[in-house]
Every structure is written in structure tokens, then in C-alpha cells.
Structure 1
Amino acid sequence: MPTFSHLMPSRLITWPVAIGLAAFLIRYGSSQCQACFVSYHSKSRRRYVQSGQFEKETDETGKVVIVTGSNMGIGKETVLELARRGATVYMACRNKSKTEQALKEIIEQTGNNKIFFRELDLSSLKSVRKFVSNFKEEQDELHILINNAGVILETRGLTEDGFEMQLGVNHMGHFLLTILLLDLLKKSAPSRIINVSSLAHTNGEIKVDDLNSEKNYQGGKAYSQSKLANVMFTRELAKRLEGTGVSVNALHPGMVNTEIAKNFILAQTKLVRRNVQSGQFKKETDETGKVVIVTGSNTGIGKETVLELARRGATVYMACRNKSKTEQALKEIIEQTGNEKIFFLELDLSSLTSVRKFVSNFKEEQDELHILINNAGVILETRGLTEDGFEMQLGVNHMGHFLLTILLLDLLKKSAPSRIINVSSLAHSYGEIKVDDLNSEKKYSGSKAYSQSKLANVMFTRELAKRLEGTGVTVNALHPGMVNTEISRNFKFAQSKLVQLFVKPLFVLFLKDAKSGAQTTLYAALDPDLDGVTGQYFSDCKPKKVGHAATDEKVSQFLWEESMKWTGAPKVI
């Protein structure tokens, strides 16, 4: 959603926009389907999307044309128009029944009986040769060859001749077909060869050391390579045919509502979803006997964190503000895991009184604490204040957790080795600690205040890690990823009908689910390899560099001193 634009790199925004718009702004072959687009956009916008219309009337009577892959989509529409203009057209396709049905419809619509089906499977060089042989038995002329057929595949496949399927069909098959038909094209000059490529060719690379994608296969890259091959073949053949009367050109048809476009979008969406959900903590650990506190744990990342900790046998305290919501979540977790050592203790991080009361109540029940996960967070569009007069995002995301952590240090030290996990955000790298306006009284921007609070999390982590060195208590921060949680519920725009109906369904494809979002938290809290590791920042279960501002020692000292002063925390370290 637009409210998150400050929280993520531009490359992450590009994917949902590019693929989402491709799916939404996809071209349609009929005016009836265009109405779907007009219902939301202006007529001028529709004209732009459907731009590039060939409106000249020509008589193609006597012309012989071959169109590959022409029983549906672009190919079928091409044959339909050529038939309407009087051409003799050969539909070169693999699927007999489908092509004969399309052929019948075209003849019925145009009254042109000079439309024929001849079998051609571009994934078989034997089939290509057989097609050419059969065609030459019937025709001694060929005026236009339209190499239209194409495939796009997510998983690697091989042609009959052992070629990577996309390269084999989209390029190699058409290459042989064209070469074998050159004699007729020259004889029929002026004649034309049209290679249907794609804008994807601009992202392609001819892998000279792995042309057949045997070492490393990615569906999107293999497709782009095949489309680049179309363009390079076009340019090279055009040079070689100079002076023969045979012209060769390539084209990008646009994003068209065909099966190949749908498969492309589906394949790319799946690929991105896999990348988005990356960073999984898969090590099995036994947390029986460990006592853990997780703040903000009745929904989203926090709830998923508690669920997994419960599955691993830990005793977990869900530190939350909303009693009924937490008790419902607690009940579900116990039912799913069979672990009854899951408890709710009320904690409102916007109240220092509530923080102190929580700690007092916790210490009455427990004399150990092995893991403290400061997960709770808010993001606000408009400025609000905590009970103690702090700007709400700084107050909840940092000050409340600061006091909570300081008051629990005695138990954490006693229970060492123990861990403190601060859930920050990539937004910290955009943040600035406003030393002259820490409470955002002079000027307020929701996103800047949020980024400041997340930077405070990282600076607190690094400073506390130094102060706790040698105690057996480690402190680390993390970015959970862009996660589909309720944190944006306080943004009016995010709750608008426009966003809920159009933006969210597209954007959500490129967000981590809560379970994936909890993985780095679990990694930082439980991975045995992180014993003794402190003062670090993680993302996708890997160490990452912190933003430059987080390394400013002078500002870090300022933040520590102000946090101590504002919260009235005891000087225990």
C-alpha cells in the first residue's frame, strides 16, 4: 500500500506494480472485454492500452501465408483478419481438433474457404521438416511467414531433440522452419517474414556458456533468452537476405489476454511469492523449560511466534493490551499445540504504569526469563500521544520496550544464557533520531516518526549489547520482512474501498504471510548457532548491515540518556 512506500526498497515495489498492472491492464481481443477496463478507467486510457491499430484496408487475394500457433489468441485473430482480406492461409499448429474448430469458425465468419490446417509441432525438428515437405507438395509460393507460436514454462522441459523447451519452440523450431522455406519466399518476392518476439527480450541474455539452461534454469530468464533470440535472428537474417526481396522484421504484440500471457503472469507471481517467503528457520529445537515473553502476540507475527514456541515446548507469556483477543488467540494456540503453558498477562506499552505493573505481576509468577521478544509495534498516520505524553510510535515501539527490558534484566541475567530480540524494520535505514525534536512536536510525519522509532530499536539493541557484554545476555534486532499483518489498520487510506478492492488483492501477493514473517524472530531467538552472538541485525534469517544512522555512537548515547530520563528506568547497567 502507498503508506508503506518508505518502508521498502523500490525494487520490491516494482514487482507488484509490474505484474499487478500486467494482470489488470492486459489487452483484450474484443470490444466486449474492453468494457471491463472502461468500467474503471477513462476512454482515453482505454484507447492508450488498445493503441496501435492497423486500419488500412488491403486486398490479400492470391497471397499465401503461414501462421504458426494460430488456433487461439493472437494467431487466430491474425488468421481471421487475413482470411477477411482474401488470403490463402495455412494454420500451422500442433493440436488438430482445436485448430479444426478454430478454422471452422474463421471460415464461417469470413466466407473464405482457402484456410487450411497442417500439423506442426515446433518442439520436434522432424515435425518441422515434415510440415515443410507437405506444404511444398501443395504450394509453390509463400508470400508471408508469420512465426507466431510460443511457449512459456515455469519448470524446465526438453524438446524431442533435447533443447530447453522455450528456446526449442520459440527459436530453434522457427529457425529451421524459416530456413527451409527461404526458397519459396525468395521465389515469391517481395515477401515477408514476421517474428513475434516480446518486450521480454530486453531483459534477455544469450547464455553463451549455457545456452540450453543445463547449469542453471529460471523460467523467466529462459523465456527472455528465447525472445532475444527471435530479435537477434531477425536482425541477422535481414542482413543475409538483403537484396533478395525478402524482408524480415520482429515485433512485440503488447501484453495480450492469451494463455501464454496468463501463464507468464502466473509463473512470475509464483517465483516472486517464493522469493518473498524466503528465510525459513527449519532447525528443530526443544524449548521445554524455557520461559519466554512475546509482546504484541495476539495476532500476526507475534501470534505465529508464540504458536511455534508453544509447539517446541516453551512456557510463553503473551504480553498484550486486548484481553479478549489475546485469550481467544491463546485458546487457539493451546488447541493446536497441546501446550497448556501459554499465559496472558496484560501489557499496554503506551503506559509506563502498565509496563511496571506487568513486570511486577510476571515476577510474582516467574523467577526465570530466557527469551524476551519485543515484537509489538504501531504505525500511525496522525500524531497521537501515550499516557505519559510521548509521541505514540516512539512511545510504544521504543520507550515502552526500553523500560520493559531494563526492568527484566535481573531475570535475564539470572537465567543466562538468555536472549533479547527487538523486532525493528527495514524502515530504520530511512530514520533519523531528531535530537532537537525527539517527540515530534515541531513537525510530524507519520512515516518519519515510525522510521525514527524503528531506528531507536536498532540503536537500543547495539547500545544494550555493549552494556551487557560478558553477562551471558545477548541482544539482537531484526527486520521481519514486509508482512501481511494488521499494523496498517490505523491508516484511513489503507482501509478505503479503493485499496481494499483493487490495491490490496494485488499487493498482498508480494507480502510475507505472518508465519513467514515470524521466521527471523524464531531464528534470532532459538538458533543454537547464535549462542553468544550479540548486537547484530538480521533479515530473512541472515545477518544484514544496519542503516548508516544506526552506527552514530554520539546519537546513540543521546537516545539512551533521553530514554532513561523519559521512562525513569533504574540504572541497573
Structure 2
Amino acid sequence: MNEQPWTLQQMPSQKGKTVIVTGANSGLGLETVKAFAARDARVILAVRNTEAGERVVSELQEEHPRSKVTVMALDLADLKSVRDFAQKFQQEHSRLDLLINNAGVMAIPHRTTKDGFEMQFGTNHLGHFALTGQVLPALLATPGSRIINVSSRAHVIGRMNFNDLMGNKRYSPWLAYGQSKLANLLFTLELQRQLKLTRAETLAVSCHPGWSATNLQYVAPQMTRSSLMLRLNQLANQLFSQPASEGVLPTLYAATSSTIEGGEYIGPHRDTKGYPVRVRANPRAYDAGAAKQLWSISEDLTGVQYSFSVPAGVQ
């Protein structure tokens, strides 16, 4: 554990670094962008709603006139959008210091992505798997780069149902969410194993924000038009959550602390809230066999094959 609580004030300058944040126009993603913009990083808001992203950019530039914040369209529920984003990014940028896979959906009714995947598994895991694989050359070419996968405490209820990953036989919103968040951790485990095996400098790290008050809790009640669930979630946030500005600390610590090692899992010291520390996930998150199986399935489903060698011409 840390010798003293890590706070935002301890986050070092990020000048000269390029950062991609998915789901960057609200909640934890927005807080992540604010922190990096204030420390002079070049930040790319990878968002589905580009108009909302542009509003964020305008607000940040008022607060930090020298900030280098731009918007790029990314819909993680559409593999073509992911591919287009990755191609455009690599055409315009020569380095990538941090990929922060933050975006997600939580406990929603059964929906499918444009490619026919269950929405939570497709967005939270497969979309980020495809994105990471396609910008990996830029990460590998950048000394000290990191991939940060934002998981959730809800991974503890997750189990990898490899016989029904898409919930076609039986679907539970919360169990599907738990499965997708467990997949984030298994993805990190296998990604770090392969990075280490190939002696890459890039690190894969995972984190969770505890119970943080964001708009994520309100999407499902709005989709189902449940005013009761909406009120209950609002009350629960008021009573038990921490603000997003505190929930983002594990992400920022994982991304910027000099003491981080690949494969670590960072979360609040009091489980649901508090300053960031190294924590342990559910034992299922360390199942190397499940991680390898998920990796193989993810490559097949997305069509993205990872290469851990830096292509000629990428600097």
C-alpha cells in the first residue's frame, strides 16, 4: 500500500504526453480529461457524441487556455467506428502515452451493438479490445506508455459464460454487466502477460472507481422508464457514493504514478471510496486459462489480431 494517501496534487506534469480517454464527455471520463488538460497533456476525447465533446473542449479552453484538447468520434458499439478512429489517430499522431479505456454502459436492458454483440459485453469489453489492438503500434513505439482498463467492483458478481457470452439464452442486466467488468480484468491480465513475454515497455493496468456518482447509474432507469428506480438510484448516490472528482483518483494514479507495475489493480482504500491503493480482485479475475480463452474469442469476434512488434516507420 502507499505510505501516504495519494491525491490529485501529487499528479505530475504530463507535458509532451498524448492521452486518449474513451467516454470523455461526462462522469469519470470528464474528470480524467480535466486532470490531464490541467497538467499540459495533449488529450483526445474519444466520444460518440462529438457535439457534447466540443462543449467540453470549449469549457476547458476557457479554464486552461493553453490546453491541447481535441475531439474524435468513437462509437465502441460499432467496430467500423473503432477501426476508423484508430486509423485516423495513427495518421495524425506519432505517439500514444496513455490509452484510458473508461467508457461503458451499466445494467441496461438487453440491446445489441451494430455488429450483433450484447451491448454491455460489446461496448465495455469488445470495443475496448478492438481499440487497444488497433492503436497498439503507437503505444509500443512510445517509451513508458500505459493502457488503463477501468473495471468495477461489480466484477465480483461476474462469471464468464463462454457458452452464452451474449445472453441470448438467458439475460440479466446486472450479471451481464458483471461479466463485462470481469472481462476487463481478464483482458488486462492476458494483455500484460503478452507485453511482458515480448519485453515491451508498455504496461497494462486496471482500476475501479468505487461507488462514484455519475450519470451511469441513471441510464438503465431512463431506458426502462422506471421513475422508482431512478429515485432509488438518486437516493443511493446521495447516501453512499463519492463524487466523480474523487472516484477518478484510481484511474489517475494508475496512469501516472511512478510506482505502478504492469498487471496491478487500483481502487479506493475503503473499497467504495477513498484514496487510491493497490487492491485485489475476485479470484476469477486471475484465471489465466479464462483470460487466454477470452482473448482468443475476442480476436475472433472483432477480427482484430494483436501484433507486439513495432512496424517499420512508426517512431
The TM-score, its normalising length taken from structure 1, stands at 0.50
Q: 1:570 maps to what in 2? A: 305
Bigger Rg, which one: 1
Q: Secondary structure at the match of 2:63?
A: helix
- In the TM superposition, what whole-angstrom CA distance separates every residue of 1:356-386 from its partner, at most 9, and x where no partner exists? 0001111111010000000000014311110
Q: Does 1:381 align with 2:118?
A: no
For CA contacts below 8 A with separation 6 or more, give which structure has more relative contact order.
2
Match of 2:244 among 502, 508, 514: 514
On the 8 A contact 1:347/1:358 being kept in 2, the answer is yes
Alpha-carbon offset, residue 424 of structure 1: 0.3
Alpha-carbon offset, residue 527 of structure 1: 1.1
Structure 1 runs not aligned, ≥5 long: 1-277
Match of 1:560 among 295, 303, 306: 295
Provide the C-alpha distance between the structure 1 equivalents of 2:178 and 2:21, rounded to a whole number of angstroms. Answer: 22
Cα 1:435–1:296 shift into 2, 3 Å = same
Provide the C-alpha distance between the structure 1 equivalents of 2:104 and 2:232, rounded to a whole number of angstroms. Answer: 27
Alpha-carbon offset, residue 286 of structure 1: 1.1
Q: Secondary structure at the match of 2:259?
A: helix
Equivalent residue runs for 1:523-562 within 5 Å: 523-530=253-260, 533-540=261-268, 541-562=276-297
Q: 2:193 maps to what in 1? A: 466
On the 8 A contact 2:159/2:178 being kept in 1, the answer is yes
Equivalent residue runs for 1:387-466 within 5 Å: 387-466=114-193
Alpha-carbon offset, residue 497 of structure 1: 4.0
Q: Does 1:361 align with 2:96?
A: no
- In the TM superposition, what whole-angstrom CA distance separates every residue of 1:392-423 from its partner, at most 9, and x where no partner exists? 00000000000100111111110021110000
Alpha-carbon offset, residue 503 of structure 1: 5.9
Provide the C-alpha distance between the structure 2 equivalents of 1:324 and 1:368, rounded to a whole number of angstroms. Answer: 26
1:472 maps to a residue whose letter is E
Alpha-carbon offset, residue 556 of structure 1: 1.2
**Percent identical:** 38
Q: Does 1:491 align with 2:216?
A: no
Alpha-carbon offset, residue 325 of structure 1: 0.9
Provide the C-alpha distance between the structure 2 equivalents of 1:301 and 1:412, rounded to a whole number of angstroms. Answer: 23
Cα 1:313–1:432 shift into 2, 3 Å = same
On the 8 A contact 2:213/2:242 being kept in 1, the answer is yes
The TM-score, its normalising length taken from structure 2, stands at 0.89
Alpha-carbon offset, residue 352 of structure 1: 0.4
Provide the C-alpha distance between the structure 2 equivalents of 1:482 and 1:384, rounded to a whole number of angstroms. Answer: 25
Over aligned residues, Cα RMSD in angstroms? 1.7
On the 8 A contact 2:105/2:120 being kept in 1, the answer is yes
1:521 maps to a residue whose letter is T
On the 8 A contact 1:416/1:471 being kept in 2, the answer is no
Provide the C-alpha distance between the structure 1 equivalents of 2:36 and 2:212, rounded to a whole number of angstroms. Answer: 19
Q: Does 1:301 align with 2:28?
A: yes
On the 8 A contact 2:213/2:237 being kept in 1, the answer is no
Provide the C-alpha distance between the structure 2 equivalents of 1:379 and 1:444, rounded to a whole number of angstroms. Answer: 14
1:516 maps to a residue whose letter is E
Provide the C-alpha distance between the structure 2 equivalents of 1:563 and 1:508, rounded to a whole number of angstroms. Answer: 38
Q: Does 1:343 align with 2:64?
A: no
Cα 1:497–1:569 shift into 2, 3 Å = closer
2:263 maps to a residue whose letter is G
2:304 maps to a residue whose letter is A
1:446 maps to a residue whose letter is P
Provide the C-alpha distance between the structure 2 equivalents of 1:467 and 1:513, rounded to a whole number of angstroms. Answer: 35
- In the TM superposition, what whole-angstrom CA distance separates every residue of 1:423-454 from its partner, at most 9, and x where no partner exists? 00011121100011111111000000000000
Between stretches 463-472 and 550-559, larger displacement belongs to 550-559
Q: 1:74 maps to what in 2? A: none
Structure 2 runs not aligned, ≥5 long: 269-275, 309-315
Provide the C-alpha distance between the structure 1 equivalents of 2:237 and 2:201, rounded to a whole number of angstroms. Answer: 42
Q: Secondary structure at the match of 1:297?
A: coil
1:401 maps to a residue whose letter is H
Q: Secondary structure at the match of 1:529?
A: coil
1:561 maps to a residue whose letter is S
Alpha-carbon offset, residue 508 of structure 1: 1.6
Alpha-carbon offset, residue 570 of structure 1: 2.2
Cα 1:495–1:538 shift into 2, 3 Å = farther
Q: 1:333 maps to what in 2? A: 60
On the 8 A contact 1:418/1:473 being kept in 2, the answer is yes
Runs of 4+ displaced beyond 6 Å = none
Provide the C-alpha distance between the structure 1 equivalents of 2:65 and 2:168, rounded to a whole number of angstroms. Answer: 48
Match of 1:320 among 47, 57, 79: 47
Provide the C-alpha distance between the structure 1 equivalents of 2:233 and 2:263, rounded to a whole number of angstroms. Answer: 37
Provide the C-alpha distance between the structure 2 equivalents of 1:372 and 1:506, rounded to a whole number of angstroms. Answer: 31
